[in-house]
Structure 1
Amino acid sequence: MKVKIILFISFTITLFGCKNDLVINAPYKDIAIIYSFLDQNEPVQFIRIEKLYQNNATTNTTEGAQIADSLYFDTLVVKLINIVSRDTFYCYRVDSIPKDKGFFSSAKNTLYATKIPQNNNADEVYQLHITNPKDNKTFISKTSLVKDAAIDNRKIVINLVTPNHTFAFRFTPGRNAALYDLIVRFQYKEMIKSDTNNFEIKNVDYFVAKSAAISGSLEKSTIVSREYMNYLRGKIVEDNTKVRRSLAIIYQAYGGSAEFASLLDLSKPNLSVVQKNPEYSNVSNAIGIFSSRNFVELKMETDPTNLLLIESNLPNFHP
């Protein structure tokens, strides 16, 4: 499983990856591992619930890890409760999403899913409530739903003549967001030179900020024009069998909640020789994180001469 912590990547990895904690030859006890990141802009919300893997005396670690049923609870009652509106949304079991291959069995991938209404104007808090009917044990957590950021739609001007020229990324953070990844996406069309009807839409993502904490009601970051162009040159290599055409510059903002900010903070290297960072969990009677994220993007207004400038500095681009 990838360990690089970037907001929009890490949420996906947590839900659909193969990571399971490992306890070797410990007394058996069902311990739940729970991960979920709500996103009001997603049509379906997913919750990953697994058992902490525990080896036993009759099965070695490698053999036991390949028994898919040992990683999941037989029956669970899973629901999301909107604490503000008091609406309850029961989750259904999903077994159709492929699981990344790894040390643990990928033959089965059980998730729980449900739909929640979108209301960007409401300040919403959701509680995750899970019950295991087998022993009546409950696992509970709650998170404030991160709302949409508002990206400022100003015309982008790129200037390669002035040495330190910059263009801005301005946005108003969404309610309940604690940190952001900010991305400037360059989108282009790449065609086969001998058959321009055969093409692919490609993107180059430039990170303006990674896991940046919110400091005010209006956030502004700047991008140096020359640095941005050099980055694009490094990512788009010359290929004389292709013809390319620029399409758009898109600003993207990935927001994370306070719980995710706490997780990142505890994930930072501990330079002490005696202390160990505690593992973060905000789920009662279980291990894991129940949190919220939000993704918005905006196609920016770009002067046509700027797109021509970009194309003239990149290989195999033609108007």
Structure 2
Amino acid sequence: MLHKLLYMFKKIFLFSLGLAFLSSCETKFSVNGEYVETPIVHFLLDQGKEIQYLKLNRTFLKEGNANEFAKQPELSYFDNVDATVEEIKDGVTLRTWTLKDTVIKNKKEGAFYAPEQKLYFFRPDFVEISGTDTTYLDEDAFYRLKIDIDNGNHMVNGQTNLVSGVNITYPKPQISFNFAESDVSSNGYRSTPISFSRSPEAGIFNLKIRFDYNEFIGSNYEKKSLLWPVGEITNSGTSTSGATIFAEGEQFYKYLQNNIDENPAVTKRQIEGIEIQLVGGSKDLYTYMLTNEPSSSLAQNKPTYSNVDGALGIFSSRVTVTQYKDAFFGVNSRALNENSTKELCNGQFTAPLKFCSHLASDVNTNFSCN
């Protein structure tokens, strides 16, 4: 019996000693590790845009709930930013812009603060390229970015060429979209090819179509727009041959059906116009997009791509080319041809949306507003 008691006491003593040892050797540590503040740059020049925007943020690290900290914009901004862009051609600096800060209010909701965000911008003047053609930036120049952050605490540098030589070759401005046959039930829908010249500097092309319309409630109306994502292609190698993306008629009407509400208060809707929006992104931009896509691999190991010195991110270019067609802009010239307008007003997908035609050439049809 004594032997058993001594054995039990010994076990209790050793267990207590172990607890005391663990409590006395408690070590406090942080999973965050050593933090290095890093600027994050997103800056794409576009000679088709009146204003050029730079997004500049910084990494941050704090103990606590990262989701809460991400909602605090002051943690993502630097106190002092001096940024310039130089336009250089044939070894000569033609123009220099100093960027100013501004706050925009259309940032989408997400993990970080919204809808306001601080951006930096400059506004170039028109320059004549050839004849009467004008643009905001010179396609034959290259551009150098310099950013001094917090009085020399960070120095960021980068340079880029522009994406040049991208033009919409079909349809011509006077040619209508043709999305439907006269009898869709028998002959089906049609597609309109959007053809364009490619640039060797471009890595990706994205095509969207903006559909503008007026929505009436009685005699009052509101201007509205939808942006239809038509398609995207990549540009391998250095090909400059033309390319085509097809705008499918059936998909067009289905997109309107899915994105315009059947509001019983609406008395009618009328097409205002259609705009083709073609964006050609540089090869650097395409590489950046690929390396920042969500990984489908279990390993989750992806390379980090950055083409700026002293920061992470990208300073590169894209070009936006547009072609606008008014609902009616001349003899036999309209955004949607007659069959396509008829399908918009009476067709299986969009008839409940109460579209009608206000064009004089359609006055004697069953889809006229009159």
Is the pair's TM-score, using the shorter chain for normalization, greater than 0.5? yes
Q: Does 1:97 align with 2:104?
A: yes
Identity of aligned residues (%): 25
- Give the Cα separation in 1 of the matches to 2:311 and 2:244: 39
- Give the Cα separation in 1 of the matches to 2:288 and 2:198: 20
Q: How far 1:116 sits from its partner (Å)?
A: 2.6
- Give the Cα separation in 1 of the matches to 2:265 and 2:296: 51
Deviations 1:104-159 (A, max 9, x none): 56698443222234454632321211123634542111222234732221332232
Matched residue type, 2:88: I
CA RMSD of aligned residues (A): 3.2
CA contact (8 A) 2:178 2:339 kept: no
- Give the Cα separation in 2 of the matches to 1:107 and 1:250: 27
SS of 2:291's partner is: helix
- Give the Cα separation in 1 of the matches to 2:116 and 2:276: 37
SS of 1:79's partner is: strand
Matched residue type, 1:229: Y
Q: Does 1:157 align with 2:166?
A: no
For 2:245, the equivalent position in structure 1 comes to: 221
SS of 1:170's partner is: strand
Over 3 Å counting, the alpha-carbon distance change for 1:77 and 1:225 in structure 2 is: closer
Q: Does 1:308 align with 2:329?
A: no
Over 3 Å counting, the alpha-carbon distance change for 1:82 and 1:190 in structure 2 is: same
- Give the Cα separation in 1 of the matches to 2:284 and 2:225: 30
Q: Does 1:249 align with 2:274?
A: yes
For 1:235, the equivalent position in structure 2 comes to: 259
Over 3 Å counting, the alpha-carbon distance change for 1:108 and 1:221 in structure 2 is: closer
CA contact (8 A) 2:108 2:115 kept: no
For 2:204, the equivalent position in structure 1 comes to: 179
Q: How far 1:224 sits from its partner (Å)?
A: 3.3
Q: How far 1:262 sits from its partner (Å)?
A: 0.3
- Structure 2 length as normaliser, TM-score? 0.67
For 1:205, the equivalent position in structure 2 comes to: 227
Q: Does 1:167 align with 2:167?
A: no
Over 3 Å counting, the alpha-carbon distance change for 1:81 and 1:307 in structure 2 is: same
- Give the Cα separation in 2 of the matches to 1:88 and 1:279: 31
Mapping 1:1-319, distance limit 5 Å: 25-55=32-62, 61=66, 68-84=73-89, 85-86=92-93, 87-94=95-102, 96-98=103-105, 109-119=117-127, 120=135, 122-132=139-149, 134-135=151-152, 137-147=154-164, 149-151=166-168, 152=170, 153=172, 154-158=175-179, 159=181, 160=184, 161-163=186-188, 165-173=190-198, 176-192=201-217, 195-196=218-219, 198-210=220-232, 212-213=234-235, 216-242=240-266, 243-268=268-293, 270-274=295-299, 276-300=301-325, 301=334, 302-313=336-347, 314=350, 315=352, 316-318=354-356, 319=368
Matched residue type, 1:236: I
Matched residue type, 1:157: N
CA contact (8 A) 1:32 1:50 kept: yes
CA contact (8 A) 1:180 1:253 kept: yes
Q: How far 1:290 sits from its partner (Å)?
A: 1.4
- Give the Cα separation in 2 of the matches to 1:64 and 1:208: 37
- Give the Cα separation in 2 of the matches to 1:102 and 1:206: 22
Q: How far 1:29 sits from its partner (Å)?
A: 3.0
For 1:19, the equivalent position in structure 2 comes to: none
Deviations 1:174-200 (A, max 9, x none): 6733212112333221100xx22x212
Over 3 Å counting, the alpha-carbon distance change for 1:276 and 1:110 in structure 2 is: same
Higher relative CO (CA 8 A, sep ≥ 6), structure 1 or 2? 1
Over 3 Å counting, the alpha-carbon distance change for 1:186 and 1:81 in structure 2 is: same
CA contact (8 A) 2:196 2:242 kept: yes
Over 3 Å counting, the alpha-carbon distance change for 1:138 and 1:189 in structure 2 is: same
Matched residue type, 2:244: K
CA contact (8 A) 1:283 1:290 kept: yes
- Structure 1 length as normaliser, TM-score? 0.76
Q: Which consecutive unaligned segments of at least 5 residues does structure 1 have? A: 1-22
CA contact (8 A) 2:167 2:197 kept: yes
CA contact (8 A) 2:200 2:240 kept: no
For 1:14, the equivalent position in structure 2 comes to: none
CA contact (8 A) 1:24 1:54 kept: no
- Give the Cα separation in 2 of the matches to 1:61 and 1:273: 24
Counting matched residue pairs gives 291
Over 3 Å counting, the alpha-carbon distance change for 1:275 and 1:48 in structure 2 is: closer
Over 3 Å counting, the alpha-carbon distance change for 1:67 and 1:169 in structure 2 is: closer
Over 3 Å counting, the alpha-carbon distance change for 1:51 and 1:240 in structure 2 is: closer
